[in-house]
Structure 1
Amino acid sequence: MRYLIRDRMLAFHEEAWVETEHRQKLFKVDRKLMRLRATFHFVDTRGDQVASIVKKALTLHHTILIKQDGETVGRISKRRFRLFGDRFKVTLRDGRRLRIAGNLWDREFDIADNGTTLAHISRRWFSVRDAYAVDVTHEPDWLLLIVLAVCVDHIIEDHRSEQLTNL
């Protein structure tokens, strides 16, 4: 199943919508600013929070905690300094370790579990900040895979912002 994450460009705070490929809205991703740690809430169309991600501040690696029902269900991290390719490590509460690998410049990533691709993240056919697709091949984990896609996107944006600041 293909899901689309669409960013709202002119909002007071960062906001995105997760939609099906048929443009049915599923979740709003709402970023809370003015905190030491950036927090994103995934809110369904009824207004219920289904997941959240919290970016930890002051770490050696970009680290984001994934929470559902107030409990941490996973952690994603990326090394700050990497010469070739982008790789993210995901550790889940159930003991699984997922790998997200791809190309920063092409904005193409695969989420894999022991060599099996669970989802593919792509901005290839979309404008730079408008939208990106998440093709999920492992339906039982569809919500987690969408949350991981949002995490990857925000880690990349943070990295780009840091690079521009250092120029």
Structure 2
Amino acid sequence: MKSLYIKQKVFSLSAKFTVKDQQEQDVYYVEGSFMQIPKTFSIMNTTKEEVALITKKTFSFLPKFFVEVNGQEVLTIKKELSFFKARYSIDATGIEVNGNWWDMNFEILQHGKVVGQVSKEWFTWGDSYKVQILNEEMETIIIALVVAIDCVKADNATASSAAT
């Protein structure tokens, strides 16, 4: 089992942050587009090669995010129509998310088998998540999924504050 840690910088306009291993070495770099349409987040490996891309669909009635890993679309996160509480669904072939992903405490399953676990780290400055990789072949997809969920949460928070 491999543990990775995602810690976002709280007041970063460019939305740049890293994913670190247990020895606090950078494993992935995440870079968001700033003032660009469509909004994207690029996930790069240690040699700065893009391994995943998250894109927010620009013109849709409800927000929708596409996640590509190594050039292949692997999942979509979309907001569902609801009147009281924001509801989102994750569409991915063979991949499920069980638990409370809105609070970043969930398991990722592939064909019914747990391949990763995510938990929010408390008492930290900014959002920090511990990501446990149980199947290393799924590592990039798991990291992309966690970053995508965090993008959806940030987008929802921005929309909520703009509405009030």
Summarize the Cα distance change of 1:127–1:102 in structure 2 as closer, same or farther, 3 Å threshold: farther
Aligned to 2:152: 155
What's the C-alpha RMSD, in Å, of the aligned pairs?
A: 2.6
Summarize the Cα distance change of 1:121–1:60 in structure 2 as closer, same or farther, 3 Å threshold: farther
Superposed counterparts of 1:1-150, under 5 Å:
1-69=2-70, 71-81=71-81, 88-91=89-92, 96-103=93-100, 106-127=103-124, 129-150=126-147
State the identity as a percent. Answer: 20
**What TM-score does the superposition give when structure 2 sets the normalisation length?**
0.82
**What TM-score does the superposition give when structure 1 sets the normalisation length?**
0.81
SS in 1 for 2:8: strand
Summarize the Cα distance change of 1:10–1:159 in structure 2 as closer, same or farther, 3 Å threshold: closer
Preserved CA contact (<8 Å) 1:101 1:111: yes
- Equivalenced residues, count: 162
Q: 1-side partners of 2:53 and 2:36: how far apart?
A: 15
Aligned to 2:163: 166
- Counterpart amino acid of residue 98 in structure 1: I
Q: Which runs of 5 or more structure 2 residues have no equivalent in the other structure?
A: none
Q: Which runs of 5 or more structure 1 residues have no equivalent in the other structure?
A: none
